[in-house]
Chain A
Amino acid sequence: MSLDIEKLRGLFPILHQEVHGKPLIYLDNAATTQKPQSVIDAISDYYEKDNANIHRGAHALADRSTNYFESTREAVRAFINARESAEIILTKGTTESINLVAATFGRKFIGAGDEIIISTLEHHSNIVPWQMLCEEKGAVLKIIPINDQGELIFEEFVKLTSERTKFVSVVHASNALGTINPVKEIISHAHKVGAKVLLDGAQSTSHLDIDVQDLDCDFLAFSAHKLYGPTGLGILYGKREVLESMPPYQGGGEMIKEVSFEGTTFNDIPFKFEAGTPNIGDVIAFKKALEFIQELGKGAIKAHEDELLRYAVEKLSDIKGFIPVGVAKDKVSVLSFSIQGMHPFDVGVMLDAKGIAVRTGHHCTQPLMKRLGLEGTVRASFAVYNTKAEIDALAEAVQKIARIKNK
């Protein structure tokens, strides 16, 4: 079913504004997506009507807040098809979710000489926590290489695995290039050598159907703000048996069962990992974002975004000096590129002058840029509310900019 994009754009108040005197064309969706009115309203509704701390209060507002909060947890469970909502931990974002796993599972189960595998495509958030863990424990970090198309080389991953492999943490879809990794095969192979697997779903969850039971991943980390939801909120999915085997992350608040000065017993999952007062209003509002996505349907969203990407590649490829970066066969709607003879920053600032918002630079994937021999790229990333007319404007602007150095 095709979507009525104009109607859908009406749900996003931020899109209807001018920047530098030009209509805003927002193509930085891999960094963060814009929020529909329903999400914005839910945040103000919460503070206008329901604000109370959750789980402990013996009054109506606390009861309401708790119910709304927990109903988001249930909505997330359904969104990724987890077995139970206790497997859904609410964090500050993808980065915190990954750090939580490294700091708890990692500290308990990874030892000297053990190996952790990540890929060349990783964002810094899925590199640094593992580097820190390896340094602390004397473990070894192994990196899956990529080919020149920007695709992970599965055969090389297989070669890296052995009985020493204890953990594999890979990105589902690359933020810098859009490459979708063969994660089901990666998970299946990692399990054969007894390793646990974390998927960084920051870029995949808004585009692809995610079924954690079908994927059989041990962990999945993602952020609400890339899913049309609020910032400062993330999800960590973990299999019950794995979460239960892990020590707590931070101490205090909801994570305790009983505290005495002699010792403390910890709460059950998911609360064991949710110390302190959470971001209640934003958690509640996130349910509206999930409803927005569910109503449109991931299939329809992906079809529209794929069409935008195909159209953008076609339009921009004709431009002299245009160099696509990352041409994997299987991609989410990310178009990374360079202009011959130009620094990405200059291109980004010139596009901004035309009201077009893109990302430029290394996209927090410096090792990947080093592998590609680039300082950075210009990245246009599309969401469901983008249109072909916006891509026409992008192509026209890029053509004009490229002419400066590519006459």
Chain B
Amino acid sequence: MTEWRPPFALVGAWLGLLALLALTVTLAYAPLGAANAVVALGIGTIKAMLVAAIFMELRHRSGLTLIFAGAGLFWLGILLWLGSMDFLTRT
């Protein structure tokens, strides 16, 4: 047990997330207009994928697990899509 060191992948992913966080914060102040939201969401997606692939260890998993993980994401997408459709079309 005393020999244990955190796997490189975990530490790397963590540092990567911190770097992306710094990037998000910085870019939030950059005057990009409507692109600000797009950039923030894009970086958010990359972060989520890092978490799923490395912390949730989905990169080593079988097809079935991936299907269930994907389904969860898909249903989250539906919630956001239909929910925001109401919001965007309110008069």
Query: Does A pair with B?
Result: no
List chain B positions with a Cβ less than 8 A from chain A.
Answer: none
